[in-house]
Structure 1
């Protein structure tokens, strides 16, 4: 593929992400949620109003900043496969900055595309469902067309679908958010970001000091996302089912994006006959080639027999560490996406 073709594909991916992001923004700004009614005396809507522990701007900043920063660091400083082979052929790789920047762009746009999908799906669901928030009565203080309120005895137990909010202490933003409870945008966005980051670290990070260090980082990221989601319940901004739906949405899109969009675990789909999970299989040698080998002829390799060379052991960071320890197996070097633990 020429560099111009790659550039065109990169620009096309960027435009697709931008279009999906703009669609989410338009739904947020001008989408009119379904106006749902309520029953006077509904206890699930009678919680007090509290300020958010994590404001919308902070959650978006975390979702944009933390995973992209980690992707930048890993893609710029990770060990690339194939370096040792180029040196043996007389060509030195150097830092291969162009290749690193290309991989960085691809991984970043894959993550941002998934984030845009989460945002669009969340906003579309909010507009279509129009569920009232738990603090609806405290924020809105609804007034009926006849001037009565839910505090009046004649309105107890009535279903109200025509009302106006009479609370003058709340902003227009609070009123717009009243019927956008389902699903939780905080839960869907932050859990997508943190879970995708954990999946990315599993595929791209090698920790020589301790294998558990990487898993500790993954656990902390996911727990932070779960904590932010739970604060939406304790702050009375969402019902528990809203948070659960948002969490499921974020987890599902994170898994699908990592597996099928970013293709982080492509190395696991090699043919079973070509490799073993953690050890190389010996190349199959025919009896004739075995006889020739015993007679002093050079042994046939997997490439000369037409067989696909097996992948490297599962716990390596690219091809370089393995080839440095096993220079005789240079013919098995492959470019693949397995960046696991190096003991």
Structure 2
């Protein structure tokens, strides 16, 4: 996104939507980028590794886990461990989605150039030189600002909110993983509590962005939509709701049975039916 120029969006003189005080650098936020990125990268890795290990240990006795996930490499004896295969696959898809979310958000910020709520505090426009006699006068162009160019450029990239998108993507991915993978007894209440807790943390992240005047509500909602959409697409369409290959194999087997021609079985006529037909013919 540094290669392309950010869209320069204009503003009205003394616009109240952009006159919020400057909250300081991102590191001074209640949810700093280091904390957010660390949680988004570390918590899913820990949860998926622990979850896959638990599922593998529970299903090892029945060999269902291995039958679903075995991948032949060379011959019939060499294959990737099913635990390693599933863990790498789910973490790889999660990492891909994390980068995809970041790319979508960065592209949206560059294209829209939406202004932050504290934009005028960083822009520091000279209203006298700009001739702002009325609040309805529209100001456009980069020359209208006299503040720090780097801070002004960051204040032009708020839609959609990257923090909201990444946090809700991680929460949604983990929520769907926990719901579809963990089937142990006694987790009927633990799973929803954990899932709702993850979604609540993502919601609080977006709420914090609005409370600190770093993003508008529209920025946060758009970030939520981007993160949720990418997570749902990857889980449903790419990893098949975290299921193995057994369901797919059974589905193919049923399709093959449906396509097989029906075998005609010779009909055996019973003696009672034969006598009934003979009697009916004599009467007629």
Unaligned runs of 5+ in 2: 65-78, 255-264, 266-284
| TM-score, normalisation: structure 2 | 0.73
Equivalent residue in structure 1 for 2:104, among 112, 116, 121 = 121
Alignment CA distance shift 1:196-1:85 (3 Å): closer
Q: Which residue of structure 2 lines up, in the alignment, with residue 196 of structure 1?
A: 173
Equivalent residue in structure 2 for 1:70, among 47, 58, 66 = 47
Deviation at 1:85, TM superposition (A): 5.3
Q: Which residue of structure 2 lines up, in the alignment, with residue 83 of structure 1?
A: 61
Q: Distance in 2 between matches of 1:101 and 1:48?
A: 50
Q: Secondary structure at the match of 2:114?
A: coil
Deviation at 1:265, TM superposition (A): 5.3
5 Å matches for 1:309-324?
A: none
Alignment CA distance shift 1:247-1:240 (3 Å): same
Q: Which residue of structure 2 lines up, in the alignment, with residue 220 of structure 1?
A: 197
Deviation at 1:49, TM superposition (A): 1.4
| TM-score, normalisation: structure 1 | 0.61
Is 1:108 aligned to 2:85, yes or no? Answer: no
Does the aligned pair in 1 maintain the 2:119–2:152 contact within 8 Å?
Answer: no
Q: Which residue of structure 1 lines up, in the alignment, with residue 145 of structure 2?
A: 165
Structure holding more helix per residue: 2
Q: Which residue of structure 1 lines up, in the alignment, with residue 185 of structure 2?
A: 208
Q: Distance in 2 between matches of 1:148 and 1:73?
A: 62
Q: Distance in 1 between matches of 2:62 and 2:86?
A: 20
Q: Which residue of structure 2 lines up, in the alignment, with residue 134 of structure 1?
A: 117
Please identify, of 214-223 and 156-165, the stretch whose mean Cα deviation from structure 2 is larger. Answer: 156-165
Q: Distance in 1 between matches of 2:198 and 2:184?
A: 17
Is 1:182 aligned to 2:131, yes or no? Answer: no
Runs of 4+ residues over 6 Å off in structure 1: 267-270
* Number of aligned residues: 231
Q: Deviations over 1:6-65 (max 9, x none)?
A: xxxxxxxxxxxxxxxxxxxxx2x4442101111112110111111422122322221111
The higher radius of gyration belongs to: 2
Does the aligned pair in 2 maintain the 1:133–1:237 contact within 8 Å?
Answer: yes
Which structure carries more relative contact order (alpha carbon 8 Å, separation 6+)? 2
Q: Distance in 2 between matches of 1:230 and 1:79?
A: 38
5 Å matches for 1:14-33?
A: 27=1, 29-33=2-6
Q: Secondary structure at the match of 1:154?
A: coil
